[in-house]
Amino acid sequence: MTRSADECFPPIAKPNAEVLILGSLPGVRSLEMQQYYAHPQNAFWKLVARIFDVEASLPYAQRLRVLTANRIALWDVLAAAERPGSLDSSIVHASARANDFAAFFRSHPRVRQVFFNGRKSEQMYRRFVLPGLPAEFAAIHHVSLPSTSPAHAGMPFAEKLVRWKAIKRKVKS
């Protein structure tokens, strides 16, 4: 039996977004829950809660509103790919299909900063997106942040928090 490709969710973004956070592709738990970063051990929402001084236990819709209220968009590099399990290292590159970033950047012209949730999302962006991206969008500044995945627990939460706070500094007050 052939396994179908995992597919990403639509971007979470308002037209006034200034920052874009990119993951690679939703994991198994996220796909089951139809929510970004749904695995309970993923630190993403805990970091967002600490950075923006909100309760980590907010319902999903309210957590998304925290991002959009702070002019932050959320998406994944890949629109679809085959991946047994949830590890980015298991993504079958031959099956990878990137999201349409030219269209995204055209509809979100204020995005001037892209933050990658881990090195793998940055590597996939450089491999599958940058080569076909118009120069005006390829020039958008990129920063790789430590992965929030439970598979990358080598860095303490406090250190991740310090690095992830760069997002708040990039969004205009």
Active site residue ranges: 42
CB 78 within 8 A of CB 25: yes
Extract the runs of DSSP E, i.e. beta strands, from 1-101: 6-7, 19-23, 72-76, 78-81, 97-98
| Helix H or strand E segment including 44 | helix 44-51
Count of CB atoms within 10 A of residue 163's CB? 15
Closest CA to 6 of 75, 127, 97, 108: 97
52 burial level (CB within 10 Å; 0-12, 13-18, 19+): middle
